[in-house]
Amino acid sequence: MGEISMPVEEERSVYVVDDDDSVRSGMAKLLLSEGYNVRTFDSAEAFLEKGVDDQIACIVLDLQMPGLSGLELQEHLLKAGKELAIVFLTAHGDIPDSVSAMKNGAIDFLQKPFVPASLFEAVARPSRQARASMPNAPRLNRYRNGSTG
């Protein structure tokens, strides 16, 4: 299992779980270029074995893998009380799979090949939502936008 890491803000953590080496490596490079802390896993089982370090993270998860599928990993995490944001990627998805993933809390369902901007938008969503739910979020957002009033 290859793992690529780069320390940055905890809220910018992305776990990439995909059995295809080239997809996993390419996705890690894309996300690293945007400043994300990336950890890669070649299977759902490898991800479960390592565990997750934080709750403000996003998992980019292949739908169909040998062993546990992406949907089965999502169900396992939900049963364990881990409510991590999940972006599913698939080359073989169908409507029932996407509906199931979204009903169980996935934040997006992208078809391979995907446009990098779609991936960046999807993985940015959880940290934006976490910041927006903070008690001082309105004041912080005004400050970030250049307004002090």
Q: What is the CATH number of the domain that holds 103?
A: 3.40.50.2300
The answer to whether residue 1 sits within a structural domain is no
Among residues 138, 125, 103, 110, the alpha carbon closest in space to that of 56 is found at: 125
Range of the domain at 52: 10-144
The answer to whether residue 96 sits within a structural domain is yes
The answer to whether residue 37 sits within a structural domain is yes
Q: Which DSSP state fits 110?
A: E
Report the domain count for the chain. Answer: 1
The answer to whether residue 68 sits within a structural domain is yes
Q: Which DSSP state fits 63?
A: S
List, for residues 68-119, the tens digit of each pLDDT value.
Answer: 999 999 999 999 888 789 999 988 878 888 898 999 889 999 988 889 999 9
d(CA 132, CA 85): 15
Contact 143, 134 (CB under 8 A): no
pLDDT band at 121; cut points 50, 70, 90: very high
Half-sphere exposure of 127 (CA within 13 A, CB side): 17
pLDDT higher than threshold 50 for residue 55: yes
List, for residues 21-35, the tens digit of each pLDDT value.
Answer: 999 999 999 999 999
pLDDT band at 53; cut points 50, 70, 90: low
d(CA 95, CA 61): 17
Half-sphere exposure of 3 (CA within 13 A, CB side): 13
Give pTM, 2 decimals.
0.78
pLDDT band at 138; cut points 50, 70, 90: very low
